[in-house]
Amino acid sequence: MPALAASTMISSCTIVALVLLSSNGSGITFVSASAGVHAEDTIVSSQANAIQETSYCGERGWDQVWADEFDGSTLDEKKWQITLGVNGGQLRDAYGTADNVYIEKGNLVLRSKAEKMNGMNWTSGAVTSKGKGFWSHGRLCVSAILPGNGPNASKGIWPAHWMMPNDTSCWPDHGEIDIMEMINGDGYSHGTYHWSKDYPAKKCMSDGGNTAIGGQVEMASTWDSAFNEYAVEYDLRGEGYVAFVVNSKVLINITKSSTPKKSNLHPEFIDTTFYAILNTAVGGPWPGQPNAQTQFPTYHRIDYVRVAQRA
């Protein structure tokens, strides 16, 4: 297993589940980690800590190679582009608008509103670094206060920090790195790596080839009022690995041996570069659509995005 620079156990949140997800003809099949995920691939503990204290991207032995601290008055267009209009991957059932993306008090804010526009019932904000910032290895760290008003008032709210290949490949041929996803304000952060079980023999299989492995973790109750750092450490060269990290504590380190052997669905890593995506989706198949109790507007506040590579 590749040696991670931080071998500390996760103490910022409570580990809940580690699952293998494999798409088949009838949908998604969940396989428990107890079916054979190697113990050395998960570094976990059960104690919780409130909020982030230091940045995983600032540890000794790592050099910062890219960052946005959002200290200006407007979004830096040399680093980001706003996602506008209809985008099923980033916004789901919301319409992307520029006025939902703005800088306020040193934070990037992605706002979601109950607002009818172009046949849709909600608007929201999303940005990507596609074509502007992309990397094949390193650490990407996002400090954020997530949107939501608790599980009884956040139905349909789906914030995410994730990465996609900066190339023209079909999904999920070259993979997908989901650093953080939370649905319905339930307080659980999900980290997931996707790949295609059919690639390269078959290309562009979409959901038919989609396979994934990841973990979920229960955050401290201040996830919607205090900054937490959601990060990934990854190297897609050679053997490859993807490790998800919360507040500098490793949740799971995914390698080619992380999948239960009897499934024969071992993770694959393609040597390519990935760009960053920050968004709040509204609706979609996982959380479902907002209901009468969902409180709008919601605010996804991001203090910084940092990228570091080994010195």
pLDDT tens for residues 174-215? 999 999 999 999 999 999 999 999 999 999 999 999 999 989
| Better-scored residue on pLDDT, 275 or 266 | 275
Instruction: Please report the pLDDT score of residue 261 as a whole number.
Output: 53
pLDDT digits (tens, 9 = 90+) for 224-233: 999 999 999 9
Phi-psi map region of 257: left, alpha, beta (phi>0 left; psi -120 to 50 alpha): alpha
Give the amino acid at 301: R
Give the residue among 154, 258, 173, 247 at the shortest CA–CA distance from 215.
Answer: 258
pLDDT digits (tens, 9 = 90+) for 77-109: 999 999 999 999 999 999 999 999 999 999 999
Helix or strand holding residue 27 (H, E): strand 27-32
Cβ-count burial 183-220 (b if 16+ within 10 Å, e if not): bbbbbbbbbbbbbbbbbeeeeebeeebbbbbbbbbbbb
Say whether 156 sits in a helix, a strand or coil: coil
pTM: 0.87
Residue 151's CB is within 10 A of a number of other CB atoms, namely 12
Give the amino acid at 293: Q
Q: If pLDDT is split at 50, 70 and 90, which confidence band does 265 have?
A: confident
Instruction: Please report the pLDDT score of residue 53 as a whole number.
Output: 67
